[in-house]
Amino acid sequence: MQVNHKYNIYMFIATVFFGMTYVLTKNCLNYSTEFHIISFRFSIAFIISLIFLHKKIFPIKRKEFFYSLLLGGLLFLIFITMTIGVKYTTATNASFLVSLSVIFIPFFSWVFNKEKPKKSIFLVLIIVLIGIMLLTLDKNLELHIGDILCLICSLLFSFHVLITERFVKTNNPITLGVLQFGEVAILSFLVQYPIEKFTLPKDEKFWISLLILSVFCTVLAYLIQTVSQKKLSSTLIGLILSLEPIFSGIFGYFFLNEYLTFQQYVGAFLLLISVIYVSVKN
C-alpha cells in the first residue's frame, strides 16, 4: 500500500469519528448538561493524551504555553456553541452547519492574511446561504437557536484553523493540541460551578458515549488529522473532511431516527457540494 493511500484511509476513519460526534453529544445530553459533557470529555482526552504523548509534549516552551491559552479559549467557545447548538437542533443539521467552516476560512484568510479569495467563492457563498435557509428554516420561516449557535461555531472554528496554522509553523503542534484539551476542561469546570451543581451521571449509556467521544472523536481523530497533514495536501484533507456531514446524517438516521424533509435534503445537498467545491478549488 502506498504511503499516501494509507493516510487517505486514516483520514477517512478520522472523518467517520468526527461524524459520530454530533450523535454521541446528543445522546450524552439526555443524561447530563452541556458544561459537564465538555469538562468530562476534555478531561479524559487530556489525561489520555498526557499518558501516551508525554514524550512528544515536553519540554514546553513559554511561547507554546501562552499560544495554547489563546487557542484553548477559542476551542472552549467552539465546543460550547456546538454542544448547546446540538441540544436545540438535529445532529444532522449541526454537522452540515459546522462543516461550513471550509467556506468561511477563505474570507478570514482575506482579512488576516490579505489573501483575496477567488471570485467563484462569492457565487458559492450565495449557494451556501440558499442551502442554509432550506436546511434550517421551518414553515414559519424561523431560524432556531440551535442552528444559529452551530453557524457561530463554524465561524469560530474557521478563525481557530487560521490561528493554529500560524502558530504551528514555529511551535510543537502536539504540545499546543494537548494543552488546549486541558484548558477546555478547566474552563468548563470553572464556568459550570456558578451555574450548576457538579454531579456524576450514573447511566452507563452516558459513560459509553462519553468515552467514545473522548477517545475516538477527540484524541484519536485529532491525532490522525495532525499526523496526516504532514503527508497529505490541505486540499485532499479538506475534501475528505467534507464527507463528515454524510456520516453524521447516517448515524443520526440509524441511532436518533432523524429524518430530513425534501426541502432539507435539497439544502443539505447544496451545502455539501459547496463544501466539496471549495475543498477542491482552494
Helix, strand, coil percent values for the chain (each to nearest 5): 80, 0, 20
E strand residue ranges, the chain: none
What is the torsional sign of CA 246, 252, 254, 255?
positive
State yes or no: pLDDT of 112 exceeds 80: no
- For 59, how many CA atoms within 13 A lie in the half-sphere containing its CB? 3
State yes or no: pLDDT of 212 exceeds 70: yes
State yes or no: pLDDT of 131 exceeds 90: no
Distance CA 19, CA 265 (A): 17
Joined grid coordinates for residue 161:
484553523
Mean pLDDT of the chain: 86
Identify which has the larger pLDDT, 2 or 16: 16
Identify which has the larger pLDDT, 169 or 251: 251
| Contact predicate 106/278, CB 8 Å | yes
Of 20, 196, 160, which is closest to residue 76 (Cα–Cα)? 160
For the whole model, what pTM was predicted? 0.87
Kindly state the average pLDDT of the residues 200-219: 94
How far does CA 265 lie from the centroid of its chain? Answer: 22
Q: Which amino acid is at 233?
A: S
Is-cis flag, bond preceding 117, omega within 30?
no
Chain segment 51-82, per-residue pLDDT in tens? 999 898 989 999 999 999 999 999 999 999 99
Distance CA 187, CA 74 (A): 11
Joined grid coordinates for residue 192:
459550570
State yes or no: pLDDT of 142 exceeds 90: no
Q: How confident is the model at residue 234 (pLDDT cuts 50, 70, 90)?
A: low
Say what the pLDDT of residue 153 is: 95
Least confident of 150-154, 202-206, 241-245: 241-245
Kindly list the distances between the CA atom of residue 13 and the CA atoms of 9, 91, 159, 252, in Å, as whole numbers in the listed order.
6, 19, 25, 18
| Contact predicate 262/108, CB 8 Å | no
State yes or no: pLDDT of 263 exceeds 70: yes
Say what the pLDDT of residue 182 is: 94
Percent of the chain topping pLDDT 70: 94
State yes or no: pLDDT of 231 exceeds 90: no
DSSP string computed for 158-217: HHHHHHHHHHTTSS-HHHHHHHHHHHHHHHHHHHHHHHS-------HHHHHHHHHHHIII
